[in-house]
Amino acid sequence: MSRMVVRRARLTAALLIASLSLLVFVPAVAADEGLEVTTPYPAVAVAPGSDVSLDLTVSSIRTADVRLELTGVPEGWSANLLGGGYVVDGVSVTNDEPAEVRLDIEVPGDAAPGETTLRVAAAGGGATDVLVVTVRVDAEAAGDLSLETPSPVLTGSTESAFTFSLTFRNDTAQDVTVSVAAQGPTGWEVAATLTGETQAASTVVEAGATQAVSVAVTPAEDAEAGDYPIAVTATAGDRTATADLGVRITGSYAMTLSTPGDLLSAAGSAGSPTTMTFEITNTGTAPLTGVEVTATPPTGWDVTFDPETLATLAPDAVGSISATVTPSGEAVAGDYVITFNGGAVEEDAEDTAQIRFTVETSPIWALVGLGIIALILGGLFYIFRTYGRR
4-27: per-residue pLDDT in tens? 544 555 555 554 544 444 433 333
* Model confidence pLDDT, tens digit, residues 218-251: 999 888 889 999 999 999 988 899 999 999 998 7
- Of 48-52, 112-116, 238-242, 311-315, the least confident: 48-52
Average pLDDT over every residue of 201-212? 92
User: Is 122 strand, coil or helix?
Assistant: strand
Going by pLDDT thresholds of 50, 70 and 90, the confidence category of residue 80 is: very high
CATH superfamily to which 145-249 belongs: Immunoglobulins (2.60.40.10)
Q: What is the pLDDT of residue 30?
A: 35
Task: Provide the H-helix boundaries in the chain.
Answer: 2-25, 29-32, 363-387
Report CA dihedral (264, 270, 271, 273) to the nearest 10 degrees: -30
Q: What is the pTM of this model?
A: 0.51
Q: Where are the domains of the chain?
A: 29-141, 145-249, 255-364
Q: What is the pLDDT of residue 388?
A: 62
User: Is 29 strand, coil or helix?
Assistant: helix
Fold for the domain defined by 255-364? Immunoglobulin-like (2.60.40)
Q: What is the pLDDT of residue 23?
A: 39
CB 327 within 8 A of CB 270: yes
User: Is 42 strand, coil or helix?
Assistant: coil
Q: Which of 17-26, 45-54, 62-71 ranks highest by mean pLDDT?
A: 62-71
Contacts (Cβ under 8 Å, ≥6 apart) of 194: 178, 179, 180, 200, 202, 203, 211, 212, 213
Q: What is the pLDDT of residue 366?
A: 59
CB 240 within 8 A of CB 233: yes
Question: CA dist 33 to 2, 23, 25, 61, 68, Å?
Answer: 46, 15, 15, 9, 16
* pLDDT of residue 382 exceeding 80: no
Average pLDDT over every residue of 83-102? 94
The chain-wide mean pLDDT, for the chain, equals 87
Spell out the CATH class of 29-141.
mainly beta
The whole-angstrom separation of Cα 72 and Cα 83 is 20
The reply to whether 255-364 shares the fold of 145-249 is yes
State the DSSP code for 97. Answer: B
